[in-house]
Amino acid sequence: MHTILGATGQIAVELARELHRTYTTDLRLVSRQPRKIHDSDTLVAANLLDAAQTARAIHGSHTVYFTAGLPPDTTLWEAQFPVMLRNALDATRAAGARFVYFDNTYMYPQDSRPLTEEAPFAPVGRKGQVRAAMASMVLEEMARGDIPALIGRAPEFYGPGKTQSITNALIIDRILADQKPRVPVRDDTLRTLIWTPDASRALAALGNTPDAFGQTWHLPCDDDRLTYRQFIALASEVWERPLPHQVLHPWMLAAAGLVSRQVRELRELLPRYGQDNLFDSSKFKRRFPAFEVTRYRQGLAQIHTASRGRAQ
């Protein structure tokens, strides 16, 4: 039994599809309101803030994937994320299962240094501090050695469906809505973006590779990094129309933050957009040389094709 915690997000949905397609049809999907992706899926409604509900949801599992998310609300993150993760780890240990933790890069330095799995934690802001503390919890679990555990870490997403990221919200979703794309801070810094289905496929591969446990892994990305200016120019080629864009300079975002809570919640992440983001996923690519990474043009073309299908 492979159990996915937080099973309604885009990463979890793609993960369930990959597990079902390649590894096992014995899937348990856990969230407050889980929905079937395949007829054979087992659904369990549970609140991960409740230790007993979490234990019942995980009981009998072989591998547990933690992909739970929360809205971008700092106070909510501080109050709930560590509790959810602790409950999941305790329940996984009680079940004698393996634990796969899906992570982001908020705890990393927000500068232009190349980021490998050995990069130090240097969180900027409260959200980064929460994610650093959570990653440390999983690292402590690895060091204790009671259960096999691993971390799969991804940079910012871009992708299909309900992918949630600044890139999707400001660029891709606006292109699909025939609105001008917007770029945070600068459009001339290199970005490392991961195609959402690639992140999920890689997480499934790690969760089914015994020697991957006990380690942190950067999930695989296209190494042909683009600036946002180049990314939008590539999208313009795919959509076959001009796509002029607007750069949201820091002073503009500061002003918007006076009236928008959503913008205020994102401000601690903005320094990373003023620097090249050099996320290194070579460790994964060496271990899984047959894994085919989706190129940026391929990903944008898939989004464009899907949007045309919905419009017909």
- pLDDT tens track, the chain, 312 positions: 999 999 998 999 999 999 999 999 999 999 999 999 999 999 999 999 999 999 999 999 999 999 999 888 899 999 999 999 999 999 999 999 999 999 999 999 989 999 999 999 999 889 999 999 999 999 999 999 999 999 999 999 999 988 888 899 899 999 999 999 999 899 999 999 999 999 999 999 999 999 999 999 999 999 999 999 999 999 999 999 999 999 988 766 665 544 455 556 577 778 889 999 999 999 999 999 999 999 999 999 999 998 876 655
Q: What is the pLDDT of residue 71?
A: 86
Task: Provide CB contacts within 8 A for 154, sequence distance 6+.
Answer: 102, 103, 104, 105, 194, 199, 218, 219
Q: What is the pLDDT of residue 311?
A: 54
Q: What is the pLDDT of residue 161?
A: 84
Residue pointed to by tokens 């991957």: 212
Q: What is the pLDDT of residue 265?
A: 58
Residue pointed to by tokens 């560590």: 82
How far apart are the C-alpha atoms of 89 and 74, rounded to whole Å?
Answer: 22
What global pTM score does this model have? 0.94
Q: What is the pLDDT of residue 164?
A: 85
Q: What is the pLDDT of residue 263?
A: 57
> Measuring CA to CA, which residue among 220, 230, 226 is closest to residue 280?
220
Q: What is the pLDDT of residue 249?
A: 81
> Measuring CA to CA, which residue among 248, 286, 280, 243 is closest to residue 267?
248
Q: What is the pLDDT of residue 271?
A: 81
How far apart are the C-alpha atoms of 69 and 60, rounded to whole Å?
Answer: 23
Tell me phi and psi for residue 216, to 5 degrees.
-100, 140
